[in-house]
Structure 1
Amino acid sequence: MFALMQSTRLESLHLSVDPVTGLKAVIAIHNSRLGPALGGCRYLAYPSDESAIEDAVRLAQGMSYKAALAGLAQGGGVAVIIRPAHVENRAAVFEAFGRWINQLDGRYITAIDAGTSVADMDCIAQHTQFVTSTTAAGDPAPHAAMGVFAGIRSTAMARLGSDNLEGLRIAVQGLGNVGYALAEQLHAAGAELLVSDIDHGKVQLAMEQLGAHPIANEALLSTPCDILAPCGLGGVLNRTSVTQLRCSAVAGSANNQLTHLEVADQLERRGILYAPDYVINAGGLIYVSLKHRGEELTTITAHLSKISSRLTEVFAHAQAEKRSPARVADELAEKVLYR
């Protein structure tokens, strides 16, 4: 555990167990140099406690880098609640989690993430002010999708020479809140959609509403397309899966898409342009951060527009230096965090 903390420069790791409600949770605070840590709360089943901790640590690091390159006065943090096989009272679990967050006295602010909902955030908010993505604050998913859509246009311009998405084959892996909202925007822009999701109902909806072509989950990565948009859980790009890709670029909303940084070099060698995940998917963090600070929607929208220019900057550095955009983005973020 300490080796993982040291290798990622994690600031602190907090664990909590509440036998009354069944809460088992992890909060990882990566870096608070720029401000209090802000990041999502995941509610997922994990194969082991160690894997839950590792997920929290990796995600927290990504949130620090995301905030740094998005120009936000926030640190990076993430919470993981390990979902048990059976839950008697879900609301009680999240209320207990809210009481625990409050004990950190503002060092960590939580938000919606994989497996959690606005209703869960409302439960947390009964016991702490250090939460956003509540009913009152609003769901960040549409804004996250907006940022990814703009980033896909920038990626298309850098790799294909035009930001016009009409007629492009774009494969969307994962139709959750962000993935589906992104698919709607891509459809409106005239893109041809290939979609996959473990929830067949969401795939069916995309077929009916967006004219999407369904692709089996195990076949999507090897299906020819212009742009692959991973929008589910992380780890989709590994040393094996990258050899199967038949696309010109990868640009999606999922966090921690790369299992290792070396995979980014593998993409570069194959001539596949990679949009660093924490750059392109910063829209959700921008929304929850600025909303929590009381900013108006016009200010938030203006800040969202910076995602495209930041991504273009990363691509330009990468092209000039003949390196992966992932390595360039890491260095740019570390200059902000550790200067």
Structure 2
Amino acid sequence: MTALIKKKRHSIHIFDYPEDVSVIISIDNLFLGPALGGTRMRHYTSKEDAILDVKQLSHAMTFKSAIHGLNQGGGKCVIYNPKSLTFNEITPFFIDAINALHGDFIAGNDMGISVEMLNKIHQESPYLFNRHGNALDPSIFTAESAFLCIEYIQSNILKKAKSDVTIKVQGLGHTGNALCQLLLDANYQVQGFDIVQTTLKPFLGHPSFTPLNKETWFETKCDIFSPCAAGGVITSKTIHNLNCSVICGIANNPCESYATISQLNTKNILYIPDFISNGGGVIYASGIYHGQSVANIRKKIHSISQLLESLDLKSSNIPYDTAVKIIHQRLSES
């Protein structure tokens, strides 16, 4: 059974199944093409929390697809799974739900669901991003786009040697780990923090890596702060403890509100919108869905420097505002 909640051009589809499982798909819009987004399976305290999460995430996907010039709308799927069934047990429900939307939503992987899980079932639906066969992990490309943004900032804004630039990475999970490795390989100085200390192990002992502790990690001085964990880490309360020049990371919605983004500008902290810096994953997913080669997809990701140029980062304008204007212009023309 599906419940449809309509609000302007936004719709939420709630598919309820046995064992209290619900597959919840949020379509933010279809202006530019089928909605594309990952599928998240994590613990939610209630179905209402899951619905709120999927709505916010699908809106972020609209911004990502539009700003990067993709012919995709914004969407997201979360699986409410209070009895902690395995993905294998839930797979029939998941496939049934995405097939029921007849191509309005294209599903990728996200938190709690690996690309390997989707590769095993890629033939079960034409509405999986990897419908043509086994795909690589999109998080590799998410890390790559964030890295390219940092490279642009280093050479055009900070204008310092890489070995003199310190980047603080918060969250060394799958994608943050990949970004950290790229930064160290490029000779940056990297500070790392994660509440799960074992994620730091691969980097301990590296001469350019400094682990941070939970008491002081946030206020530790750096050139670039790269949030790569859950969103909302920069708030009206925590912003006063920031000690950096630039924020550029992978986390979705690292700022709790637009007011916080505006405060960053007042504090002369440059904020690269997350939907730009973490866009590599959706660029890859869209490209693979449409049958493009990895080489051509990477060319698209590497054009991110041109996008940053269009934001005029050296002006007094808030880059987020400029980016949103570009997005609204593209959506209005569709």
TM-score (norm 2): 0.91
Match for residue 306 of structure 1?
303
Q: Check conservation: 1:38, 1:289, Cα contact below 8 A.
A: yes
Unaligned runs of 5+ in 2: none
SS at match of 1:219: coil
Match of 2:39 among 21, 36, 41: 41
What CA distance in whole angstroms lies between the structure 2 residues aligned with 1:5 and 1:174? 35
2:147 and 2:179 in contact (8 A); partners too: yes
Q: Distance in 2 between matches of 1:313 and 1:286?
A: 19
Alignment of 1:21-36 (within 5 A): 22-36=20-34
The correspondence for 2:279, drawn from 273, 277, 282, is: 282
Structure 2 residue aligned with 1:18? 17
Aligned to 1:221: 218
Structure-1 residue corresponding to 2:331: 337
| Distance 1:174-1:103 versus aligned 2 partners, 3 A rule | same
The residue aligned with 1:167 is 164
Q: How many residues align?
A: 328
Any unmatched runs of 5+ in structure 1? none
Identify the match of residue 147 of structure 1 among 125, 145, 161.
Answer: 145
Q: Distance in 1 between matches of 2:103 and 2:59?
A: 18
Q: Tell me the CA shift for residue 208 of structure 1.
A: 4.2
Instruction: Quote the sequence identity (%).
Output: 32
CA distance in 1 between counterparts of 2:235 and 2:130 reads 31
Q: Counterparts of 2:215 and 2:49 in 1: how far apart (Å)?
A: 23
Query: What is the CA distance between 1:229 and its match in structure 2?
Result: 0.4
User: Is 1:235 aligned to residue 232 of structure 2?
Assistant: yes
The amino acid of 2:12's aligned partner reads L
Number of the residue aligned with 1:253 = 250
Question: Which amino acid counterpart does residue 19 of structure 1 have in structure 2?
Answer: P
Larger mean CA deviation between 264-273 and 74-83 belongs to 74-83
Instruction: Work out whether residues 115 and 135 of structure 2, in 8 Å CA contact, stay in contact via their aligned partners in 1.
Output: no
CA deviation after TM superposition for structure 1 residue 133, in Å: 5.3
1:297 and 2:294 matched: yes
| TM-score, structure 1 normalization | 0.90
Q: How much has 1:126 moved relative to structure 2?
A: 5.0
* CA distance in 2: counterparts of 1:16 and 1:229, whole angstroms: 36
- Distance in 1 between the 2:26 and 2:73 partners? 11
User: What corresponds to 2:264 in structure 1?
Assistant: 267
1:72-91 to 2 correspondence within 5 Å? 72-84=70-82, 86-91=83-88
**Equivalence for 1:104:** 101
Whole-Å separation in 1 of the counterparts to 2:105 and 2:88:
20
Aligned CA RMSD, in angstroms, stands at: 2.1
Tell me, yes or no, if the aligned pair for 1:98 and 1:124 is still in contact at 8 Å.
Answer: no
Structure 1 residue 319: deviation in Å?
Answer: 4.3
* Cα distance, 1:184 vs structure 2: 0.6
Q: CA deviation digits over 1:250-304, x for unaligned, max 9?
A: 0001111121111110000011000000011110100110011111122111101
3-state DSSP of counterpart to 1:223: coil
Aligned to 2:322: 328
User: How much does 1:155 deviate?
Assistant: 2.5
Structure 1 position 227, deviation (Å): 0.4
Give the corresponding residue for 1:63: 61
CA shift for structure 1 position 312: 2.6
Compute the displacement of 1:94 (Å): 2.8
3-state DSSP of counterpart to 1:222: coil
Q: Distance in 1 between matches of 2:211 and 2:226?
A: 15
